[in-house]
C-alpha cells in the first residue's frame, strides 16, 4: 500500500492542537502532525481561519472512517484525497 497524507480540518487552533496530541495516543501516530493555519478565501479577519492537521500515513495504515469519527468530536472533518 502506498503512503497517504490525511488532512484534518478544525475550526480553531485549540482544537487542532488537541487533535494533534490525541492522534499519537489514539492511533499510535509516531510522526508529529503538522499544524497549518488556513485563512478562508477573501477573509481578512484572523477569527475566520480554519486549522489543518496534516498527518503523514506511511503505508496507509490509518482507517479513514475512524479518523472521520475522531475529528468530528472537535467539529472537524477529514478532507477526502
Which of helix, strand or coil describes residue 40? coil
Question: Quick one: average pLDDT of 16-30?
Answer: 91
Which of helix, strand or coil describes residue 30? coil
- 10-14, 20-24, 35-39: least confidently modelled range: 35-39
DSSP state of 32: P
pLDDT at 8 over 90: yes
Question: Quick one: average pLDDT of 27-40?
Answer: 87
Domains of the chain, each with CATH number or no CATH: 4-79 (3.30.70.3450)
26: left (phi over 0), alpha (psi -120 to 50) or beta: alpha
pLDDT at 5 over 60: yes
Distance CA 58, CA 19 (A): 19
pTM (predicted TM-score): 0.85
**Is residue 3 very low, low, confident or very high in pLDDT (cuts 50, 70, 90)?**
confident
Q: What is the CA radius of gyration of the chain?
A: 13
pLDDT at 38: 85
Amino acid at each position: 500500500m502506498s503512503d497517504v497524507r490525511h488532512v484534518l480540518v478544525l475550526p480553531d487552533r485549540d482544537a487542532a492542537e488537541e487533535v494533534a496530541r490525541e492522534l499519537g495516543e489514539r492511533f499510535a501516530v509516531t510522526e508529529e502532525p503538522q499544524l497549518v493555519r488556513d485563512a478562508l478565501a477573501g477573509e481578512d479577519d484572523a477569527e475566520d481561519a480554519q486549522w489543518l492537521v496534516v498527518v503523514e500515513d506511511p503505508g496507509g495504515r490509518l482507517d479513514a472512517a475512524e479518523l472521520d469519527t475522531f475529528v468530528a468530536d472537535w467539529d472537524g472533518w477529514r478532507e477526502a484525497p
